[in-house]
């Protein structure tokens, strides 16, 4: 049986995870994905983000507050920080979809 890192991946998908992980674990996830994906591979992320220092809705503000009360290392991430992190691991924002 092959080790998971020996198997080529075309895409990695994660949903509703970046806001429940510490930033150091988010960074580790991006490092591993950046190391494993081939050129033109896809890293697809679904979840809430802040943009330009603002919440996208009042409900996201409340959600972020509840996340941080539970664990100070979690919380809704700033899109700009996530893009910067991605760039350090040779990942680039290719397309973005607004979700309801």
pTM of the model: 0.88
Examine residue 96 and state whether it is found in any structural domain, yes or no.
no
- Position 93 in a domain: no
Mean pLDDT of 7-23: 93
94 falls within a domain: no
pLDDT of residue 2: 47
Is the residue at 100 inside a domain?
Answer: no
The answer as to whether 63 is a domain residue is yes
95 lies in some domain? no
Residue-wise pLDDT for 29-46, tens only, equals 999 999 999 989 999 999
5 in a structural domain: no
Taking CA atoms, 59 is separated from 47, 50, 54, 65, in Å, by 14, 12, 12, 10
Among residues 16, 20, 12, the alpha carbon closest in space to that of 86 is found at 12
Q: What is the pLDDT of residue 4?
A: 58
Domain that holds residue 80: 18-88
- Specify the number of domains making up the chain: 1
pLDDT per position as a tens digit, 58-80:
999 999 999 999 999 999 999 99
Q: Is residue 83 part of a domain?
A: yes
**Does the pLDDT value for residue 5 go beyond 60?**
no
């Amino acid at each position: 049986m092959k080790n998971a890192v020996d198997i080529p991946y075309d895409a990695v998908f994660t949903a509703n995870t970046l806001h429940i992980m510490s930033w150091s674990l988010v960074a580790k996830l991006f490092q591993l994905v950046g190391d494993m994906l081939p050129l033109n591979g896809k890293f697809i992320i679904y979840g809430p983000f802040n943009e330009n220092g603002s919440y996208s809705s009042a409900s996201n503000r409340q959600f972020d507050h509840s996340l941080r009360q539970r664990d100070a290392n979690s919380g809704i991430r700033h899109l700009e920080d996530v893009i910067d992190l991605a760039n350090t691991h040779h990942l680039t924002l290719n397309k973005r979809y607004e979700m309801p």
